[in-house]
Amino acid sequence: MKTVKKASAAPAPRSQESRGPVTMHDVAALAGVSRATVSKYFNDREGLKADTLARIERACRELDYVPDPHAVSLVRGRSRIVGVILPVISEPFFAEALRAIEEKARALGMEVIIQCSYNDPAAEAAALMTMRSMKVAGVVLTAVASRNNLDLLLRLEQEMRIVYLDSYVHEDCNYVMNDNRQSMAMLTRYLLGRGHTPAYLGAPPVAHPSPEERRAGYLEAMAEAGMAPHFVPAGAQPSWDFEAFGFRHVLDWLAGGAWKRAGVTALACGTDRLAIGAMSACRRFGLEPGKDLAIVGHDDLPISAYLHPPLTTFRQDVAAIGVAAMECLQAQLDGAGAAPYRKRFTGGLVPRDSA
Amino acid sequence: MKTVKKASAAPAPRSQESRGPVTMHDVAALAGVSRATVSKYFNDREGLKADTLARIERACRELDYVPDPHAVSLVRGRSRIVGVILPVISEPFFAEALRAIEEKARALGMEVIIQCSYNDPAAEAAALMTMRSMKVAGVVLTAVASRNNLDLLLRLEQEMRIVYLDSYVHEDCNYVMNDNRQSMAMLTRYLLGRGHTPAYLGAPPVAHPSPEERRAGYLEAMAEAGMAPHFVPAGAQPSWDFEAFGFRHVLDWLAGGAWKRAGVTALACGTDRLAIGAMSACRRFGLEPGKDLAIVGHDDLPISAYLHPPLTTFRQDVAAIGVAAMECLQAQLDGAGAAPYRKRFTGGLVPRDSA
DNA sequence: ACAATGGGTTCGTCTTCAGGT
DNA sequence: CACCTGAAGACGAACCCATTG
């Protein structure tokens, strides 16, 4: 006996109105077609009469039916979910990148699942395993600075798409990021062009390889000019409290006095948040930032234009980077798995009064 | 004939190593138990011998097996996903709230799906329908300011848990938020206590009801002191560019001169970002913020302590608010559907040099 | 009575395939 | 031939039940 337990063996209109979830069955019944045809409607519209199409569409709207994503994912073995793994959401760069990713994902009809690693390799590994079990369509990953999970990542890249955001872990991986070397070199040249002797303050080691690249950009520009580089000594302690990090180390550095003897007149900072800490340290030390010591940042936070003095900085195109990450996933989903997708973005220098 | 198509009628070890996804079947075979027992292991551990438990656990680890979340969601009719719908991610308050939500969700073994409404009712409605189709365990929602979707929300609350974050749309709904009336009253009293006559600058209408509450707090404190309130006239145009909003309107207001005639000596701003714009406007107008005009903000951004002058503000406990949202969902999942879950949080005034 | 078994059914969809009009 | 139907098997796990050691 098959129909003993459930009396819905044949497509029959629901007896109750809006009882339980609506299924393809109900849509088929209302549209007067078979389940198979409705399925076709959602997957391969080719070879369906316009009339049938319209009837199904109408039925869907009437019942406000949407295919159950879990059932689809189960049978397909893939979901329409992209996983995003970031060190931390509340850092402005990542928040904005996530925003752009989410917007683009929606346009592609995908959902976004987010996890934070807090720069902890174990948390990163756990997040990756979760994404795998969810059979995500792809993963956008900002790898932890230590790159401890290289082996795991190499293995996972075999079975799912991974795009690295503002990071990479090996040759041949997909990544999207700002051209940090170029942008920091540009800022440094700008300072040099205005007759300054710039020192450099790098970010704490919570990211990779952006800080190294920015530092390299500074070095490159200094070498070009035939000048010796100067660095603000900074601890190797990971921290996301960039302002405090900048404040503390710049204050110590100013107090040390070596900068004065070396004729340093400007300070290039790895990020705006560091620059804000640095400006505060200047004042504490009795110097007027932008006058006694020129300062530049990197990233152009929304507030940077309203600081005192307004901060000269570099605007990277975060939204474009986020969108590109999604485009990478999409591209590699439908087709080409061949060449790795890599994109370097440039932004523009934003001159303001701090330098 | 049943076993014609597939030869795995009886639990038999996988022939190939690591071919296709691992299923409960494989775990059962390796552990030498039946499928039903493995299922019990994941759901109702009661009545399983310690020995069996250990064998299954070992098998899971060996195969690194995790139950397919889609299959589970399908059969259960519920997923372990919570949906988060925010006006925008990149606003620091929301970014931090999302971070806290994600952290707490992970601790509860749930995933977080994010969508932005950009304060658009249609986008909010679409996001809600998506969450419904995903059969989420619950939704954390910051409702759009216009509250256009009230009917939809009332309907959806019947079939799924919704907690409102920093917003609410009707009596009896669950919500978690800062006590904005109290916090702004506290800031205003602080200014009054120092002999100031404070005016007020509210945020653009992109949120509800926090701005109204803060305004009410200002009014309350002024009334208490028997003083007439003063407002910076501000447009009703929605915008997330708070600094620009604050800058523009404060500059116009200062230029108007009415503040001077009214003896205003301080400005309370609805958020730190507004205060930053306001400080910039002061300088443009030739006033020294913190000296010629006292300024306070609200929210205590990471940078606020490093501004010039450091900004007096109010720190709301964003992380606690996010965590509470998740606790609400959890509480209502296992049990009580009775009383609405509402929580008001308080933070603390952070006195600094700007006032 | 306790632990575990194995079989069957269900969730909602995709997919295929042999027909039917 | 072009379009559609009907039936049936997967997908992976949960839940139920009647048995068995």
- B75 CB and strand D closer than 7 A: yes
| Contact: B303, A305; criterion CB under 8 Å | no
In this complex, the nucleotide whose C1' atom is nearest to the CA atom of residue A34 is: D5
Do the domains at A75-177+319-345 and A180-316 have one common CATH topology?
yes
Q: State, as a whole number of angstroms, the distance between the CA of B84 and the C1' of D15.
A: 31
Residue A24: CB less than 7 A from any atom in strand C = yes
CATH of domain A24-67: 1.10.260
- Tell me the nt nearest to B50, Cα to C1': C3
Scan residues 235-254 of B and list those with Cβ closer than 8 Å to A. Answer: 241-243, 247
State which nucleotides on strand D lie below 7 Å from a protein beta carbon: 2-17
Give chain B as a 3 state SS string: CCCCCCCCCCCCCCCCCCCCCCCHHHHHHHHCCCHHHHHHHHHCCCCCCHHHHHHHHHHHHHCCCCCCHHHHHHHHCCCCEEEEEECCCCCHHHHHHHHHHHHHHHHCCCEEEEEECCCCHHHHHHHHHHHHHCCCCEEEECCCCCCCCHHHHHHHHHHCCEEEECCCCCCCCEEEEECHHHHHHHHHHHHHHCCCCEEEECCCCCCCCHHHHHHHHHHHHHHHCCCCCCECCCCCCCCCCHHHHHHHHHHHHHHHCHHHHCCCCEEEECCHHHHHHHHHHHHHHCCCECCCEEEECCCCCCCHHHCCCCCEEEECCHHHHHHHHHHHHHHHHCCCCCCCCEEEECCEEECCCCC
Residue B133, pLDDT > 90, answer: yes
| Residues A98, B115: C-beta atoms closer than 8 Å | no
Q: Which of residues 8-27 of B touch A (CB under 8 A)?
A: 21
Mean of the per-residue pLDDT values for chain B?
91
Q: Which residues touch A266 (CB under 8 Å, ≥6 apart)?
A: A191, A196, A197, A198, A199, A293, A294, A295, A296, A355
CB pairs under 8 A between A and B: 141
B contact residues 322-351, partner A, Cβ 8 Å cutoff: none
**Dist. CA B238–CA B171, nearest whole Å:** 26
- Whether domain A75-177+319-345 has CATH 3.40.50.2300: yes
Per-residue pLDDT tens for B146-179? Answer: 889 999 999 999 889 999 999 999 989 999 999 9
The Cα–Cα gap between B161 and B236 comes to 32
**CATH superfamily of this structure's domain B180-317:** Response regulator (3.40.50.2300)
Nearest protein residue to C6's C1' (by CA)? Answer: B34
Could you tell me the pLDDT band of residue B14, with boundaries at 50, 70 and 90?
Answer: very low
SS3 A262: coil
Distance in Å from C9's C1' to B137's CA comes to 25
Cα–Cα distance, B141 to B121 (Å, whole number) = 12
CB B78 within 8 A of CB B302: no
Residue A317: exposed, middle, or buried by beta-carbon count in 10 A (0-12, 13-18, 19+)?
A: middle
Q: Check: CB of residue A291 under 8 Å from CB of residue A267.
A: no
Tell me which residue of A213, A170, A203 sits closest to A346, measured CA to CA: A213
B69 touches strand D (CB under 7 A): no
> Which 42-71 positions of A have CB less than 7 A from strand D?
47-49, 51-52, 71
Interface of B with A in 58-117 (CB under 8 A): 64, 66, 68-71, 73-74, 77, 79, 81, 88-90, 92, 95-96, 98-99, 102-103, 106, 111-116
Average pLDDT along chain A: 91
Q: Give the nucleotide with minimal C1' distance to the Cα of A44.
A: C14
**A53-79 per-position pLDDT tens digit:** 889 999 999 999 999 999 999 999 999
Q: Which CATH architecture has domain A180-316?
A: 3-Layer(aba) Sandwich (3.40)
Task: Give the pLDDT confidence score for residue A188 in this predicted structure.
Answer: 98
Ranges of each domain in chain A: 24-67, 75-177+319-345, 180-316
Q: So what's the pLDDT on residue A180?
A: 96
Residue of A nearest to B247 (CA): A306
The half-sphere exposure of B343 on its side-chain side, counting CA atoms within 13 A, is 18
Q: Do A246 and A276 form a contact (C-beta atoms < 8 A)?
A: yes
Reported as a single tens digit per residue, the pLDDT across A287-304 is 999 999 999 999 999 999
pLDDT in tens, A119-149: 999 999 999 999 999 999 999 999 998 889 9
Q: Which fold has domain B78-178+319-346?
A: Rossmann fold (3.40.50)
